[in-house]
Structures are given as C-alpha cells and as structure tokens.
C-alpha cells in the first residue's frame, strides 16, 4: 500500500464532507450504556512524540473545546484487534494465557523498528495522525493472522477490515462542530507536520473499550521485541 496516497485520498474526501457539514458525530462516546469491549495488541508512542501531539490538540481545543481529545495515556497504534469490541465480551470468557502463548513467539522473532508520525489526515468522524511504518509491522501482522488461523481461539482478526496502516486517532467528533472552517484551516497547517519518529521496543496486549480510555483499559501482557 502507498500510505501517502492512501492518507491523502482519505483526507481529500473527508475534508469535503466536513466542509459541507456531512460529518459524523459519535453519539456513544459519552454514553454510560456503552458496553463494547475487546482485546487489542497496541503500540504506544514515546513521550516526545506525545508532547508534539498535545501541542496540536491544544490548538484545536482553543477553537472547539467540546470535541473528544485523546489524552497521552490513551494514544496508541493498533497492531491488531484480536477480538474487536462488542457488547457482551467479558475477559472471563477467554483464557488470556492461551493468547499470550500464540503472540509471544511471533513478537520475539522480530527486531525493534521505527514509526514516524508525519502529518494529519481525517475521516468523516475524526482527526488522525498519519503513521508511516517499516515492513516489520506488517510482517508481524501477517504472522499473527497465520498464528491465530491455526487455533480455535475466539478472535475477529480482519473481520472489519485488514489493517495495513499505522494511524492514530487523536480527535473524535462528539457534537456539532462549532468552527469547522477554522478546524480545517488548522488541520491544513499541520498537514505535513513532523510529530516525531520513535522506536518500538514493545507491544501491549490490552483489554479495552472502543476508545482505549485509561479508566477501562487493562494491560494483560507486555511483549518485548
């Protein structure tokens, strides 16, 4: 996949929708009755990169403070949704050790690699960082697909879509945009901004809600590369 072309296409299409008012508001984000949970393998950016991200988010907050902004603790890149969030999932339904047993040897055979967050893109419902990855991440993903295919463990890998990017969602639209023109102008300002390059030394298997909020996330295991 040509990531630059993919992110640009997504941006151009979404920018037009947002400008025309055809964006999507997430009505579940503040709901107390959202019981969607799952387990995910994630990567966390380093502190320097997080600082740069929050600089951007603070500028957006000054324009429209009422949207949903990701805190440092919640920032992540999804390596693989092992069990995509759904209503009714409970950790008691699975044996976490069985999942660790599949994932650990896969991660262990790969070396550290780098990810660069450069630029902003958008979808009709959120603002995302453009993550650029090396072949290693997708090799790990392919190995995970094979590894879980050969088990009878509960999983939903690639059921929604086959993940190939390293994006990170940083803003979700939780209500009507008050200043969408200013928002788009600011996103354009950061369109090619270099938020940082960090080396990935480990990955976390977590139990999580749809938004990866710290108050719901439970780290199940950490894997070293």
pLDDT of 162 over the 80 cut: no
Q: Report pLDDT digits (tens) over 25-50.
A: 999 999 999 999 999 999 999 999 99
Residue 132 confidence (pLDDT):
96
User: Would you place residue 159 in the very low, low, confident or very high pLDDT band (cuts 50, 70, 90)?
Assistant: low
Residue 134 confidence (pLDDT):
84
Residue 148: φ, ψ to 5°: -80, -25
Residue 80 burial by CB count (10 A; 0-12/13-18/19+): exposed, middle or buried? buried
Q: How far apart, in whole angstroms, are the C-alpha atoms of residue 27 and residue 25?
A: 6
CATH code of the domain covering residue 87: 3.90.1140.10
The residues, any chain, with a CB within 8 Å of residue 124's CB and separated by 6 or more, are: 14, 17, 18, 22, 23, 24
Mean pLDDT of 169-193: 96
pLDDT of 79 over the 70 cut: yes
The residues, any chain, with a CB within 8 Å of residue 118's CB and separated by 6 or more, are: 130, 132, 192, 193, 194, 195
DSSP-derived 3-state class of residue 30 = coil
By residue range, what is the domain housing residue 161? 3-224
pLDDT of 158 over the 90 cut: no
Q: What is the DSSP letter of 160?
A: S
Q: Answer whether 0.85 is exceeded by the pTM.
A: yes
Q: Report pLDDT digits (tens) over 92-107.
A: 999 999 999 999 999 9
Q: Report pLDDT digits (tens) over 108-155.
A: 999 999 999 999 999 999 999 999 998 999 999 999 999 999 899 999
Q: How far apart, in whole angstroms, are the C-alpha atoms of residue 111 and residue 137?
A: 10
What separation in angstroms does the CA of 99 have from each of 96, 132, 153, 169, 179? Answer: 5, 27, 8, 26, 45
pLDDT of 161 over the 70 cut: no
Q: Where are the beta strands (DSSP E) in the chain?
A: 36-43, 68-69, 77-87, 113-122, 126-133, 168-172, 194-200, 202-209, 218-224
Residue 150 confidence (pLDDT):
87
* pLDDT averaged over every residue in the chain: 95
Q: Which residue in 222, 221, 224 sits closest to 199, CA to CA?
A: 224
How many domains is the chain partitioned into structurally?
1
């Amino acid at each position: 996949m040509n990531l630059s072309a993919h992110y640009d296409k997504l941006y151009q299409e979404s920018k037009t929708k947002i400008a025309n008012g055809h964006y999507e508001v997430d009505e579940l984000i503040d709901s107390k009755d959202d019981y969607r949970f799952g387990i995910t393998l994630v990567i966390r950016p380093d502190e320097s990169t997080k600082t740069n991200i929050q600089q951007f988010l603070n500028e957006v907050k000054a324009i429209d403070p009422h949207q949903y902004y990701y805190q440092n603790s919640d920032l992540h890149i999804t390596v693989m949704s092992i069990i995509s969030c759904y209503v009714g999932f409970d950790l008691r339904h699975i044996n976490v050790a069985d999942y660790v047993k599949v994932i650990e040897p896969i991660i262990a055979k790969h070396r550290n690699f780098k990810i660069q967050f450069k630029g902003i893109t958008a979808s009709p419902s959120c603002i995302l960082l453009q993550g650029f990855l090396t072949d290693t991440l997708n090799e790990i993903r392919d190995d995970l697909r094979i590894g879980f295919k050969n088990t009878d463990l509960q999983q939903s890998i690639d059921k929604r879509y086959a993940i190939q990017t390293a994006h990170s969602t940083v803003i979700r639209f939780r209500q009507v945009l008050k200043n969408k023109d200013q928002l788009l102008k600011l996103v354009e300002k950061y369109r090619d901004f270099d938020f940082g390059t960090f080396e990935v030394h480990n990955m976390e298997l977590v139990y999580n809600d749809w938004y990866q909020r710290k108050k719901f996330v439970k780290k199940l295991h950490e894997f070293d590369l």
